[in-house]
Chains A and B, each alone.
Chain A
Amino acid sequence: MIPPDTTSKEQSDMSTVGGPSPDRPQAAPAAAKPGAVTAKAGHAVKLNDLNAYYGNVHAIKDVTIDFPANEVTALIGPSGSGKSTVVRCINRMHEEIPGARATGSVELDELDVYAPDVDVTAVRRLIGMVFQKPNPFPTMSIFDNVAAGLRLTGTKSKDLKDLVHRSLHAVGLWDEVKDRLSSPGIGLSGGQQQRLCIARTVAIEPEVILMDEPASALDPISTLKIEELIDELKERYTIVIVTHNMQQAARVANSTVFMLEGEVIEHDETNKIFTNPSDERTERYVTGKFG
């Protein structure tokens, strides 16, 4: 559960974060209904005609997706369908690969993150990412890992402690690590490390969280914990999750996008995708005929 937020906002850089007011952890019921077209207080992401290339390979073709605010949207599809690439384009990590480029637009609310004078590092403050393999910084303690992003914007040390504790609470890791905050981050188990990485990501209060197969390297119990966490996190963040585990998509996602060979085939309520898909290819995939 997200505890009451008592910290003062740092005079950053950041505009206010939308979402339910912090001292009422329970979200308004309307926000929880999948597919409901109610006015959300969160941040939506829209992909418009996104094309991505690795050198000459055209990996993502004319992808247009709406990710509604404060919802979890899953991207499913066989290996090589481009789901990870799409997600990496959203926070502009895709272009870090030599020879890779993307065209089109990715709008966070009304802001196109691909606009010409946009600073990439600023984009990534707003759009956080959790990776498939848990990657806490090996030379840093648990505390320092969570504080890593905060230190970048010069958060004052006196504020750090509260913010780090709050993040650890938010991901449900607090009780397990409260006595060893200064021990190395990599000393934790796989599932704990991944939650640590999530804590690191939410510590800087992004608006969107991207998750690239966050539980695929974890055991079933840790996976379940992560899924519960995702369910809580969507109260405050818009979440996009790539997964090859269809049961996982069914469990956590409000809506699901099926991709094949770099194109969006179908995007609908999760229930519908899995029980009554419109496209034949979707049906073949979800019933396990290929991929």
Chain B
Amino acid sequence: MEASATSVTGGRSALERSPAGRLPDRVLKWGLSALAALILILIIYFFIRLVGQSGHVFSTYGISFVFGNDWDVSRSIYHGGALLFGTIVTSIIALIIGVPIAVATAVFITELCPRRLRGSLSIVVDLLAAVPSVVYGLWGVFVLAPRLLPAEKWFASTFSFIPWIGGGIPTLYNYFIAGLILAIMILPIVSAISREVIATVPSENKEAALALGATRWEMIGMAVIPYSRSGIIGGAMLGMGRAIGETIAVVLVIGSAPKIGSHLFAQGYTLAAVIANEFGEATGIHTSALFAAGLVLFVLTLIVNMIARWFITRGSHGTRGTGATGMTIASGPAGEK
């Protein structure tokens, strides 16, 4: 038997495949591995170039670039403190306004709303994510900002006793409008993740609560919210990451004033917005400063996203974050960072 096998296949047993036959498999494997490696190299290279380009301004100012408060192009002084302030403030406003509403919609859709409406309502909320951020900016500039100005003026004067929130004279474009638009933009992703997490609450816990004589709302408070808390926080942090990096919608409605605004309705600036505005005409150390702003932005989103992911895996109680959440986070809200 072996003799005939040998003579037919030229020295190999019938079980071996020819080197030529193995080739496609090897090519595929190494080709795909190369692509995967490419991604790693790309990001490392990205980071290196970014750091390189920011080198100039960091060697000039050191860490005071990040926290100092004086960004003056005309005098060639670059401290990004006001930008960092604006980035964080607008993100916090977005979280304060957006997260409660997003979680409420998630609770409504998964727990309270009639079954047949569930799908359509989810789709509609998610549709907010499909709107490009430049369209949000357009709407913000021509509709939201002018319409809200009277209300902002009323608010600032009525609540003038609250430090920083009230007491100032609102301008058309300010931190609040930017934060509000960001809140709308992060709503779909926080809602989607919250919905996903709330849906994993075991029904037996919900039944146990109801069987103890809990009202619907009490059941949600006893069985649903505590179980989903980590996941929801993770979703909120992902939303914050989005808000931090958002450029176009913010640059159109924040007023582009590179100083720490004295009240909620004052003009401000963010790290992303300054890059969009000033990069076109920047030279020399100015360019380096803008790259440095980008670096700070990148590191900030990195940290926030890492914290977010930690909360989400902690909150998934053992289930992997795949399926719809994966798709949701992957395809993500449209519009830019």
Contact = CB atoms under 8 A, between A and B. Distances in A.
A55 to B, nearest CB: 12
A96 B208 CA distance: 12
Nearest to B116: A98
**Counting chain B CB atoms within 10 Å of each CB, which of A124, A153, A204 scores highest?**
A124
Interface in B176-235: 202, 204-205, 207-215, 218, 222-223, 226-227, 229
A12 to B, nearest CB: 11
B226 A140 contact: yes
A152 B227 CA distance: 18
A98 B115 contact: yes
A129 B202 CA distance: 17
A118 interface: no
Q: How large is the interface on A (under 10, 10 to 19, 20 to 34, 35 or more residues)?
A: 20 to 34
A152 B202 CA distance: 21
Contacts of B215: 121
**Counting chain B CB atoms within 10 Å of each CB, which of A93, A133, A135 scores highest?**
A135
A138 interface: yes
Contacts of A200: 208, 212
A248 B207 CA distance: 25
Nearest to A139: B226
B207 A96 contact: yes
Q: How large is the interface on B (under 10, 10 to 19, 20 to 34, 35 or more residues)?
A: 20 to 34
Given A137-B226, A140-B226, A197 B212 contact: no
Contacts of B115: 98
B208 A197 contact: yes
B213 A139 contact: no
Interface in A119-144: 121-125, 128-129, 131, 133, 135-140
Interface of B is mostly: helix
Contacts of B207: 93, 96, 131, 135
Contacts of A96: 207, 210
Nearest to A135: B204
**Counting chain B CB atoms within 10 Å of each CB, which of A123, A133, A137 scores highest?**
A137
B211 A124 contact: yes
A149 interface: yes
Contacts of A123: 213
Contacts of B218: 152
A148 interface: yes
B223 A204 contact: no
B222 A148 contact: yes
A105 to B, nearest CB: 20
A122 B210 contact: no
**Counting chain A CB atoms within 10 Å of each CB, which of B115, B211, B223, B226 scores highest?**
B211
A226 B34 CA distance: 60
A129 B212 CA distance: 8
Given A98-B115, A140-B226, A148-B222, A135 B210 contact: no
A129 B214 contact: no
**Counting chain B CB atoms within 10 Å of each CB, which of A129, A137, A139, A148 scores highest?**
A139
Contact of A125 (B205, B209, B213): B213
A131 B211 CA distance: 10
B28 to A, nearest CB: 44
Contact of A137 (B208, B210, B211, B317): B208
Contacts of A98: 115
A253 B202 CA distance: 31
Interface string B147-178: 00000000000000000000000000000000
A135 B208 contact: yes
A91 interface: yes
15 contacts: A93-B207, A93-B211, A96-B210, A98-B115, A123-B213, A124-B213, A131-B204, A135-B202, A135-B204, A137-B226, A138-B205, A139-B229, A152-B212, A201-B212, A204-B212
Given A135-B202, A139-B227, 9 more contacts: A125-B213, A131-B211, A133-B204, A135-B208, A137-B223, A137-B226, A148-B212, A152-B213, A153-B213
Sort A-B residue pairs by CB-CB distance and give the 10 closest, nearest first.
A149-B212, A139-B226, A125-B213, A135-B204, A124-B213, A129-B211, A135-B208, A121-B213, A98-B115, A121-B215
Interface of A: 91, 93, 96, 98, 121-125, 128-129, 131, 133, 135-140, 148-149, 152-153, 197, 200-201, 204
